[in-house]
Amino acid sequence: MLSSLLLAVLAASGGSCRSMPIPESPLYLGAAPKAAVTRVVSLAPSLTQTVVALGGADRLVGVSRFDELPEVASLPRVGGFTDIAVEVVIGLKPDLVLTVASPMNRKSVETLSKLGIPVLSVPMRDMEDVVEAIQAIARPLKLGAKAEALVGEIARARARIREKAKARPHPRVLFVYGFTPLVVAGAGSFTDDLLRDVGAINVMGDESCPVNSYSPESAILAKPDVIIDGGGSTRGRESLQELPGLKNARWVTLSSAELLQPGPGLIRGLEELFSVLAADPARGR
């Protein structure tokens, strides 16, 4: 069974590349809110994180069961990415539901929109999507100024890291979300964007899918210098770690889940990513 963190990543990327296509930009399923938005249900931690960062925590009335921010600890849970509790959402009487655009939850969110509940669906594949999502969520909340400040903070953080990375080596990196199956960051993902920011070469950067499963043989042929365990799951890691061509790579595990949630927390995730790649290699084994 996929871990909750891996489900988060797959939902954010729109699911498998073999899934139905997702929209290129934020859109409303059904009608947009007609009045001021005061009751918001968030169906993903990254969207909750965005609302909180915008200063709208007091408008949240329900969140997913994966949400862990202290600001929403007491709020009702409305299920997960693939098992949204539609009845619970309806009972909370939201004037806006926020969801990540994904075939994995499409049926449930379309049900909500058909019942007249405004649903804002935002793609979260790459960093451009993350920025557009922040701006799109801010509009119905009337928090545009805060959105622009947050977007500026993200841009400055990325520029700062890119400047620092110029003097650093450019390691070949395999970023792993899960080991069984082997799910990694490919081209067009927000993780791929951030790997480029820190001066790394994504060994799966030529693949057309932002997030997808690959064979261990593909990982071996990619010849990574560094393998980053972004999901923190040990299941399947040991067997992969002993494969020829991979056991001599530098293995590191991220201490937080910031790089699994495409929201404002990616600023902290980017800093951590730069730090682990800049650290003494002997410490990363």
Q: Is the pLDDT of residue 285 over 50?
A: no
Amino acid at 257: A
Amino acid identity of 90?
A: I
Residue 228 identity: I
Q: How far apart are CA 68 and CA 179, in angstroms?
A: 24
Q: What is the mean pLDDT of residues 171-191?
A: 91
Q: Which of 104, 139, 140, 144 shows the shortest CA–CA distance to 124?
A: 104
Flag the least confident range among 19-23, 113-117, 122-126.
Answer: 19-23
> In this predicted model, what pLDDT tens digit does every residue of 249-269 receive, in sequence order?
999 999 888 888 899 999 999
Domains in the chain, CATH or no CATH each: 4-157 (3.40.50.1980), 167-283 (3.40.50.1980)
Location of structure tokens 């249900």: 41
Predicted local confidence at residue 11, as pLDDT = 57
What's the pTM?
0.89
Greatest C-alpha distance within the chain: 60
User: For residue 231, what pLDDT is reported?
Assistant: 78
Between 214 and 131, where is the model more confident?
A: 131
Q: In whole angstroms, how far apart are CA 27 and each of 8, 96, 97, 101, 210?
A: 20, 13, 12, 9, 21
Q: Name the band, by pLDDT with cuts 50, 70 and 90, for residue 14.
A: low
* 8 Å CB contact between 151 and 50: no
